[in-house]
Amino acid sequence: MGMLEGKRILLGVCGSIAAYKSAYIVREFVKRGAEVQVILTPSALRFVTPLTLGTLSKHPVLSDLVADEQRGVWNNHVDLGNGADLFLIAPASAHTLAKMAGGEADNLLLTTYLSATCPVFFAPAMDLDMHAHPANAENIARLEERGHLHIPSESGELASGLSGTGRMADPEHIADYVEAYFTEKAPLRGKSVVVTAGPTYEAIDPVRFIGNHSSGKMGYALAKAFAEAGARVTLVSGPVSLPAPGGIRRISVTSAQEMYRETLPLFRESDIGVAAAAVADYRPAEPASTKMKKKDANLSIEMEPTEDILKSMGAEKKSGQLLVGFALETDNAEANARGKLVAKNCDMIVLNSLADQGAGFGHDTNKITLMTGNKTVHSELKTKEEAASDIVAFLVTEFL
Q: Which C-beta is closer to ligand CTP: that of 82 or that of 376?
A: 376
- 328 makes contact with ligand CTP (CB under 6 A): yes
Task: Provide the β-strand partners of residue 349.
Answer: 325, 371
Which of 75, 107, 212, 352 is catalytic? The answer is 212
Least distance (Å) from ligand CTP to the CB of residue 63? 47
Instruction: State the virtual CA torsion across 80, 83, 88, 90 in degrees, nearest 10.
Output: -30
Q: Which C-beta is closer to ligand CTP: that of 110 or that of 309?
A: 309
Interface region with ligand CTP, contact rule CB under 6 A, candidates 10-18, 33-41, 175-183, 319-327: 319-327
For ligand CTP, which residue of 325, 352, 368, 389 counts as binding (CB under 6 A)? 325
For ligand CTP, which residue of 13, 227, 231, 256 counts as binding (CB under 6 A)? 256
Interface region with ligand CTP, contact rule CB under 6 A, candidates 60-68, 94-102, 127-135, 276-284: 276-284
- 351 makes contact with ligand CTP (CB under 6 A): no
Q: How many residues of this chain interact with ligand CTP, rule: CB under 6 A?
A: 15
- 89 makes contact with ligand CTP (CB under 6 A): no
CB 37 within 8 A of CB 59: yes
- 340 makes contact with ligand CTP (CB under 6 A): yes
Q: Tell me how many degrees the CA angle 131-134-138 measures, rounded to the nearest 5.
A: 95
Nearest to 64 by CA among 109, 2, 102, 124: 109
- 283 makes contact with ligand CTP (CB under 6 A): no
Least distance (Å) from ligand CTP to the CB of residue 215? 14
- 281 makes contact with ligand CTP (CB under 6 A): yes
Taking CB under 6 A as the criterion, which residues in 123-152 touch ligand CTP? none
- 275 makes contact with ligand CTP (CB under 6 A): yes
For ligand CTP, which residue of 44, 309, 333, 348 counts as binding (CB under 6 A)? 309
Pairing of strands 163-167, 66-68: unpaired
- 236 makes contact with ligand CTP (CB under 6 A): no
212 in catalytic set: yes
The one-letter amino acid code at 103 reads G
For ligand CTP, which residue of 310, 370, 388, 395 counts as binding (CB under 6 A)? 310
Query: Which 8-state DSSP code applies to residue 66?
Result: E
Give 12's Cβ-side CA count (13 Å radius).
32
Supply φ then ψ for residue 243, to 5 degrees.
-70, 155
The one-letter amino acid code at 51 reads L
Instruction: Identify the H or E element spanning 171.
Output: helix 171-184
For ligand CTP, which residue of 14, 108, 204, 279 counts as binding (CB under 6 A)? 279
Rounded-to-integer distance, Cα 358 and Cα 367, Å? 8
What's the burial of 397, exposed, middle or buried (CB within 10 Å: 0-12/13-18/19+)? Answer: exposed
Least distance (Å) from ligand CTP to the CB of residue 335? 12
Q: Which residues contact 175 (CB under 8 A, 6 or more apart)?
A: 4, 25, 28, 29, 32
Rounded-to-integer distance, Cα 136 and Cα 141, Å? 9
Query: Which 8-state DSSP code applies to residue 214?
Result: -
Rounded-to-integer distance, Cα 77 and Cα 117, Å? 11
- 193 makes contact with ligand CTP (CB under 6 A): no
- 90 makes contact with ligand CTP (CB under 6 A): no
Q: Which residues are catalytic?
A: 212
Catalog residues that contact ligand CTP under the rule CB under 6 A. 196, 256, 275, 277, 279, 281, 306, 308-310, 325-328, 340
